A and B are shown apart, each in its own frame.
Chain A
Amino acid sequence: MPDLKQRGIDLYNWFERRLGLGTPAIEAAVHDVPASTSSWWYVFGSAATVILVLQIMTGVLLALVYAPTASDAWNSLQFIDHNVKLGWFLRAMHAWGSDFMVAIVLIHMVQVFLFGAYKYPRELTWIIGVFLLLLTLGMAFTGQVLRFDQDAYWGLGIGASIVSRVPLIGGALVDLMLGGPIIAGPTLSRFFTLHVFVIPGTLLVLVGLHLLMVLRLGINEWPMPGRLVSKKTYVAEYHQLTVKTGIPFVPDAAWKDAIFAAAIMLAVMACAIWFGPSGPSGQPDPTIIETAPKPDFAFLWIYAVLAYLPPNLETPVIFIAPVIAIGVLLLLPLLSGEGEKHWSRRPVAVLMVSVIAITLGIFTRLGMYTPWSPIMNAWTSKPIPIGYLHNRTPLERAGAVVLQNKQCRNCHAIGGTGGLRGPALDGVASRLTEDQIIRQVLQGGGNMPAYGNALNPSETTALVRFLATLTKNNLPRAVDASRHMVLSEEQSTPPPDNH
């Protein structure tokens, strides 16, 4: 046995003599870090790296079977799901790994921001981190395209439509993005190239630089309120801290990273087993138009923002807002590279993180149930609740049929079912007088199309009569105050004799 051990050491030495990588690697692993950095708050960066490795491994395995052509990609995904042993599990791991990666990169970024780790001398580490975030999102988007289904197809349509709004060169950019005049074979090939070669290659190089700088500059110490960063003294202070409280990164600090990484991997696996792979949804056949395309979770908030922007603001906002946002992120360490690091003394920073997180959360939630979209089949699938037909005249019931047949329910809910695009119609008679309802139906307005051309006079009468019965909470019907006054005046003044 000792002989075997000796042989092992000899073998190692043989390689070490030629490669010389072992010694610097060990030195890097055991280098001293301030004891305060051995914290459960400092595990997200390494977890993101571990998931990156997972994504590369599962990605390579998927690429063994995936057919990156528009005609076969969808079928090859079905093949992986159903015909390749455990293929579904690999697809699920890759998809969930992607969601986890985006989430952990964001958490890492928030932690780094709140701990002031972007300040001197780690500005460039942050700047490269911003690019890593963008590349991670790029991977998520291109990966969604490779799942070449209906969502991917129309997602590309949305992407092309956004790009086409670029002034002057929009058309050329669309052609570049699609690789041809329409979304087709060359489009998928380009996104395959981006997802498999270009973005991962760049990502790996930048991750390498990011890690190199963490080693070179030292991991950010635990911030203390009142301990200010100054370019003159920081390096010496950090060095002092490392000397005084230093512990070897491996194993004294790294065990937390390792345990968290294992937990994350288990979480990805659990999600993969529990929820399975994502999609593919319907085939990428544009002639199947009965579809409501939706982006993946990470982009739902953008989808929601695009629904709420007013038409004349949309193009400027789409192009100016991201430039400002990314610009601010990139300039942040250069503009505020010194001073307080602790979050308790940086109220604006905490406020910004909260506002951004809540905003993204709200838009994502809205994107999950898309209240702005008509429910295309509500008019045939959601009957009017029977209670709304009790004690109604035949004309009013005919109006209920008109309401149903004219697809009003696609946008208007009644009794809690139907679209959310327009206001719910329960209680509409308490809000609008009969005249106002007629005007609204025939002329539209306030985001409602005009139905004057789609309704004949008798349909309009029936519809409005039915709507005028819809009161709720015992509220009285809306009445026109001026009409009331006219009526009361008519009553009080005796009619002229000759009338």
Chain B
Amino acid sequence: MTQSEQIPPSDQSPTTEPASNHRSEGHSRRVFLFKLSLLINGAVGVVLGIPIIGYLLGPAIQKGEGDKSWINLGALNTFPVGETRLVNFRNPVTTSWDGQTGDIPCWVRRISDNKFQVFAINCAHLGCPVRWFAQSKLFMCPCHGGAYYADGARASGPPERGLFEYDHKIAEDALLIHVGRMPTLASQSHNTPPPLIQLEVNGTAKLATMEQPKPRCSSCPT
């Protein structure tokens, strides 16, 4: 007999066992109990799953503007009129093990005495750090060649919009910006002007509670 003639053994073994009473006796009860146990475990799974899913989705559950706050970038006289300067700040929300990653740079452009623009460092294309070139008055991105004009408007390359801007305000001769999250197309899809009402409504209250500027971090130049 060759191997090819072998027939795989069929699954059904001959049912010749005589006294299978102990199998049928109480079988339905055991099946019921098993199903019940499945149900209980399902319920336990759901109860267990809710906190697990909540834990996992924690970072994505929107806290509104909760993780954003006003940060002092320094006295106004540190920003010469007509220039664009790189300024570093410590992100308002950090963990103690963030290290240098908690320091965020931004570009501050002083247009006139009390007119500013504060640009995020992240290119609006894919988030790489843009660099300011004062002579050609352009921001250039090293990753995919995006370029922006001095006012942040898109000049050329793959970005579909201008640079991201942080809301800012001037208080007590200091420049404050509203920061806390990495700007992306999702968080800043449109160039919305900063809500002016905000300053009037709760500006003073926020100013009162605002922390005084302190050295941001060891690596940040003052």
Taking beta carbons and an 8 Å cutoff, which residues of A are in contact with B?
69-72, 153-154, 157-158, 160-162, 164-166, 170-176, 178-187, 236, 239-240, 243, 283-287, 289-293, 303, 306-307, 309-312, 314, 372-374, 376, 379, 405-408, 410-411, 421, 444, 447-451, 453-454
Contacts and interface: CB of A to CB of B under 8 A. Distances in A.
B151 to A, nearest CB: 9
B126 A162 contact: yes
B168 interface: no
A118 to B, nearest CB: 25
List the 3 shortest-distance A-B pairs measured between CB atoms, nearest first.
A71-B99, A164-B184, A449-B155
Give the one of B67, B100, B125 with max A CB within 10 A. B100
Contacts of A153: 101
Given A160-B182, A449-B149, 9 more contacts: A154-B127, A160-B184, A171-B184, A180-B93, A185-B95, A187-B101, A286-B129, A287-B104, A406-B136
A185 B101 CA distance: 8
Contacts of B185: 161, 164-165, 170
Nearest to A153: B101
Interface stretch (B31-39, B156-164, B196-204): B156-164
B142 interface: yes
Given A284-B100, A286-B100, A451 B144 contact: no
Given A161-B126, A243-B3, A286-B105, A185 B184 contact: no
A286 B104 contact: yes
The secondary-structure label for the interface of chain A is: loop
B129 A182 contact: no
A31 B140 CA distance: 62
Contacts, number: 216
Contacts of B28: none
The secondary-structure label for the interface of chain B is: loop
B60 interface: yes
A171 B185 CA distance: 8
A154 B128 contact: yes
A354 B150 CA distance: 45
B40 interface: no
Contacts of B160: 311-312, 314
Contact of B60 (A176, A183, A186): A176
9 contacts: A69-B97, A72-B99, A154-B129, A157-B127, A171-B184, A172-B61, A185-B94, A405-B135, A450-B149
Contacts of A447: 156-157
A184 B68 CA distance: 16
Contact of A289 (B94, B121, B127, B137): B121
A170 B186 CA distance: 6
Contact of B122 (A72, A157, A171): A157
Contacts of B138: 407, 449, 454
Given A239-B4, A405-B135, A184 B121 contact: no
B74 interface: no
B98 A287 contact: no
B167 interface: no
Given A164-B187, A174-B186, A181-B67, A158 B57 contact: no
A160 B144 contact: no
A421 B145 contact: yes
